[in-house]
Amino acid sequence: MTSEDSVLVQVQNLKKYFPIYKGLIVNKHVNDVKAVDDISFDVYKGETLGLVGETGCGKTTVGRTILHLYRPTSGKIIFGGINLADLGENEMRVMRRRMQMIFQDPYASLNPRMTVGSIISAPLDVHTSANRKEKQDQVQELLKIVGLNPDFVNRYPHEFSGGQRQRIGIARALALSPDLIICDEPISSLDVSIQAQVVNLLEELQERLGLTYIFIAHDLSMVRHISNRMVVMYLGKIMELADRNEIYLRPLHPYTQALMSAVPIPDPDKARNRQRILLEGDIPSPVNPPIGCNFNTRCPIATEECFKIDPEYRELTPKHFVACHHAEQFIK
Amino acid sequence: MEPLLSINNLKTRFHTEDGIVKAVNGVSYSMKVGEVLGVVGESGCGKSVHALSIMRLIQIPPGEIESGEIWFDGRDLLKLDNNDMRHVRGRDIAMVFQDPMSSLNPVYTVGFQICEALMLHKKMNKNEARHRAVELLTLVGIPEAKRRLDNYPHQFSGGMRQRAMIAMALSCEPKLLIADEPTTALDVTIQAQIINLVVKLQEELGMAVMWITHDLGIVAEMAHTINVMYAGYIIERGNVRDIYKRTLHPYTFGLLGSLPVIDEAPGTKLISIPGLPPDLIDLPKGCPFYVRCTYRVDQCKFELPPLMESESSQHTVACWRWQEIDGKGTK
C-alpha cells in the first residue's frame, strides 16, 4: 500500500515552543514549554503513520503544527512540495482543503446548535461554490460512506452516541476529499466495541479513497494495528521511528521497549509469563527537560554520557531511526 | 470456607425524569477471601453502580437498591444502619476511584487525609497516625514520604495521587479493596507501575481485590475470576483462563475480537460488534444482547437467558446457545 518514493509531507527540524510570561507590569518572557523540540520525519502517500507517546510528549502539537493551526517556532513543513511557511493566508486556506483533522472528543468538536447536515456541509460552504442541491446530495453521500442513515441530516449532535458522533466528524473531514487526515486520538473516548467499529471504518475508507493518515494515540496496540510505520515520542522528541513490525520485533530504544512491555495483553498465559520493564518515576516537565538525553531520568541503561550529550537521531539500520547512545546493543 | 462477599439478586435503579434506569438487574455472585475478581464491561453496563451499591454509596433518591442481599463477613450490608455502615466503609471495604484528582480533597494535605481515616477507624492518636501514614506512603512507592505528607494533592503527579489513594485505602487493612478503573486516567507506563503495586500488596496483605475495568487486557494479568457485565447483567463468569481461552458468550467473544493485540499478524481485521448497547430505561424482554448478536434465534428475543452452568460449575454463562460457541473462543 505504501509507495515509498512519493512523499506527501516532510517535517524538517520542527520546533514548537510555547512561551511562558511572568510579571504584571513588565511582561517578561521567562521560559518556554518545549512541546516539540527539533523533530524530522516524512509521511508517504497512502500510508498510515502512527504517533505514540504518553501525556505531554508533544504528539498532538505535532499534528496541529503540521496543519499550521500552530505556527512552528522554527523548522519546515513541506506539504506536496510546498513549504507551508511561504504561503499567505489565502493560499494557506486553499491548502487546508487538502488536509483535515478528526478530533479526540466527539462531544466537544461538533457544534451542538448545528444540524448534522450543516456541520458536514460547513467545509463545502467555505471552500466550494456548490449550490444547495449539490451540497445536500454530497452530505447524504458522505453520511452513507461513514455508515450513518442519510435521513439523519436534520438531527442534532446530542441525538447521537459517541461512536456515531465520531462518524459525523469523519464525514466532515472527508467532505473536501483531502489527501491527508490527521486523526488525533479519534477513538480514546469510545468504548472498546465501538473503537473497533471506527477503526475498521477508517481502514476501509483509506483503502477506498487512497487517504494518508497520521494517527495519533497513546494506545500502542491500536496504533500498531492501524499503522504502516510508527513514531515513538517522548518529551517533545522522537525516540524511535520504524516499520510496524520492525519496531515490535526489534525495538532499539529502551523507552520503546518499556512502552511495549507495559501494554496490557488480553491473554492470561502470555500476560503472566512476560518480562516487564518497569519504568521508575514520572515524565519530567517539558519546561525544564533534563540535560543530555530527555529520557535519562527514567532510563534503565543510562550512563554518564546520557546525562551530558543529547543523543543524535540517526538511521541505525535501514529505515529504522533511533535517538539513543546505546541502541547498538539491541540490534540482534 | 465461608465466602467473604456474597451478593444475592442485587437490583439497583435510578428514578429519572425520562423513566426508571435499570442499572443493575439481579446480580448474584460470591468472592472468596484473598480472591482477585475482575469486573469487565463497557460504559453503562452497571459495573461501577454495582460496586457503589456494595459500599452503599448510591445516592437515594434518585437511586434505589430495589432488592437483594449483600452478605459481607456474616452481615447483610443492606440491612445495616448508617452508623454501622460507616464503620464498614474504609475499615472493612475500601475503594479507589478512577479520577484521583477529584477524589482527594484539594484543601487538605495528603497526610491529613490519610491520618483522618487512621484516627477514625484505628483510634490512633495524631503522632501514631502520622507515623503510620509515612509507612503507607513508602509502601506504595512514594519517595521522601515524610516530606510528601505535608504536600497538597495538586503537588502530586497523576500516578502519585493514585498511589496516595491506594495508601489511604490500605490504611486500615481492609478485607476487600474495590478498585474502580484506577488506571484509566493514567499513562501506560504509570498504569504498569500501579498494577504491579496492587498485585504485590494483594499478595503481601492477602486482601481480596475487585478490579473494575473496561480493558480485558489489564485483568488478564492479575485476576483469578472474571465477571463480564452487559446492560446490568452478569453475562459470563468464570476463572480467568476459561473466559479468555474458552469464551462462551458472544459478547465476550466480540469484546476480545475488537481488541488489537500487540503481537498481531499484519492485515488482521478487528471484529467489531455492530450496533449499540440497549437503553437501560427500555430494556428488551429477552436477551439484552439480542439486537447485536450474530447467534440470535427467536428464543433469545422472548426469553431472558439466566446465568447457567456450562460443563464446569465454575464457568457460568447467560446465553441459550453457548454450546455452539464453545470451542470457537480460542484465539
Interchain CB distance below 8 Å, A264 and B214: no
Among the residues of chain A, which ranges form H helices?
59-66, 89-96, 116-127, 132-145, 162-174, 192-209, 220-226, 244-249, 254-262, 268-273
What's the pLDDT tens digit per position in A216-270?
998 888 999 999 999 999 999 999 999 999 999 999 999 999 999 888 888 888 8
State the Cα–Cα distance between residues B153 and A140, nearest whole angstrom. 50
Beta strands A28-44; A74-79: pairing state: unpaired
B45, B163, B187: best to mutate for the A interface, most A CBs within 10 A: B187
A130: left (phi over 0), alpha (psi -120 to 50) or beta: beta
B159 touches chain A (CB under 8 A): yes
Classified as helix, coil or strand, B122 is coil
Of B325, B321, B323, B328, the residue nearest B305 (C-alpha): B321
For B220, the closest chain A residue by CA position comes to A268
Q: How far apart are the first and last CA of chain A?
A: 28
A192, A230, A280: best to mutate for the B interface, most B CBs within 10 A: A192
Residues 6+ apart with CB under 8 A from B213: B38, B39, B40, B181, B183, B184, B219
Question: Residue B266 is placed in which grid cell?
Answer: 499484519
Question: Residue A146 is placed in which grid cell?
Answer: 461513514
Of B99, B95, B315, the residue nearest B210 (C-alpha): B95
- CB atoms closer than 10 angstroms to residue A235: 24
Chains A, B: CB contacts within 8 A come to 126
Q: Radius of gyration (Cα) for chain A, nearest Å?
A: 21
Question: Residue A173 is placed in which grid cell?
Answer: 473531514
Question: Residue B160 is placed in which grid cell?
Answer: 502519585
Strand partners, B93: B89, B176
Residues of chain A in contact with residue B196, where contact means CB-CB under 8 angstroms, are 276, 278
Q: Is A148 exposed, middle or buried (0-12, 13-18, 19+ CB in 10 A)?
A: buried
Phi first, then psi, for residue A36 (nearest 5°) are -130, 125
Full pLDDT tens readout for chain B, 331 residues: 788 999 999 999 999 988 899 999 999 999 999 999 999 998 889 999 999 999 999 888 888 999 999 999 889 999 999 999 988 988 899 999 887 778 889 999 999 999 988 998 888 999 999 999 998 888 888 888 888 899 999 888 877 888 888 888 888 889 999 999 888 877 888 888 888 888 888 998 889 999 999 888 889 989 999 999 999 999 999 999 999 988 999 999 889 888 888 888 777 888 888 888 888 998 888 999 999 998 888 889 999 999 998 888 889 999 998 888 776 654 4
Question: Residue A190 is placed in which grid cell?
Answer: 469510545
Q: Is B17 exposed, middle or buried (0-12, 13-18, 19+ CB in 10 A)?
A: exposed
| Cα dihedral B282, B286, B288, B290 sign | negative
Among the residues of chain B, which ranges form H helices?
47-54, 82-88, 100-103, 110-121, 126-139, 145-148, 158-170, 188-205, 216-222, 240-245, 250-257, 298-302, 322-325
Interchain CB distance below 8 Å, B215 and A271: no
Residues 6+ apart with CB under 8 A from A287: A20, A31, A32, A33, A34
- The pLDDT value recorded for residue B327 is 63
Residues of chain B in contact with residue A215, where contact means CB-CB under 8 angstroms, are none
B204 to each of A285, B173, B223, how far by Cα in Å?
Answer: 34, 11, 16
State the Cα–Cα distance between residues B312 and A35, nearest whole angstrom. 55
Question: Residue A116 is placed in which grid cell?
Answer: 448534522
Classified as helix, coil or strand, B188 is helix
Among candidates A54, A222, A271 on the partner chain, residue whose Cβ is nearest the Cβ of B189: A54
Question: Residue B97 is placed in which grid cell?
Answer: 476511584
Interchain CB distance below 8 Å, A268 and B270: no
A160, A267, A280: best to mutate for the B interface, most B CBs within 10 A: A267
Residue A143 is given by DSSP the state H
B23 to each of A292, B43, B226, how far by Cα in Å?
Answer: 53, 11, 19
Residues 6+ apart with CB under 8 A from B313: none
Residues of chain B in contact with residue A196, where contact means CB-CB under 8 angstroms, are 257-259, 270-273
Asked if A221 and B262 count as a contact pair (C-beta separation under 8 A), the reply is: yes
Classified as helix, coil or strand, A89 is helix
Of A208, A169, A314, the residue nearest A253 (C-alpha): A314
Q: Where do we find the cell 518480562?
A: A275
Of B32, B50, B33, the residue nearest B41 (C-alpha): B50
Using a CB–CB cut-off of 8 Å, the residues of A that contact B are: 54-55, 161, 163, 191-197, 199-200, 203, 218-222, 224-225, 244-245, 248, 258-269, 271-272, 276, 278-279, 282-283
Q: Which residues 28-57 on chain B approach chain A with CB closer than 8 angstroms?
A: 42-43
Among candidates A220, A224, A272 on the partner chain, residue whose Cβ is nearest the Cβ of B188: A220
Interchain CB distance below 8 Å, B263 and A55: no
What's at A213, amino acid-wise? Y
For A229, the closest chain B residue by CA position comes to B266
Interchain CB distance below 8 Å, B214 and A192: yes
Q: Which residues 241-260 on chain B approach chain A with CB closer than 8 angstroms?
A: 241, 244-245, 254-260
Interchain CB distance below 8 Å, A265 and B261: yes
Full pLDDT tens readout for chain A, 332 residues: 444 568 999 999 999 999 988 888 888 888 888 999 999 999 999 999 999 988 888 899 999 999 988 999 999 999 988 999 888 888 888 888 999 999 988 888 999 999 999 999 999 998 888 888 999 999 999 999 898 888 889 999 998 888 899 999 999 999 999 999 999 988 888 888 888 889 999 999 999 999 999 999 988 889 999 999 999 999 999 999 999 999 999 999 999 999 998 888 888 888 888 888 888 877 888 888 899 999 999 999 999 999 999 999 999 999 999 999 999 999 87
B273 touches chain A (CB under 8 A): yes
What's at A41, amino acid-wise? F
Residue A263 is given by DSSP the state S
| Cα dihedral B245, B248, B250, B252 sign | negative
Query: Rounded to 5 degrees, what angle do the CA atoms B52, B54, B60 make?
Result: 55
Rounded to two decimals, the ipTM of the complex is 0.82
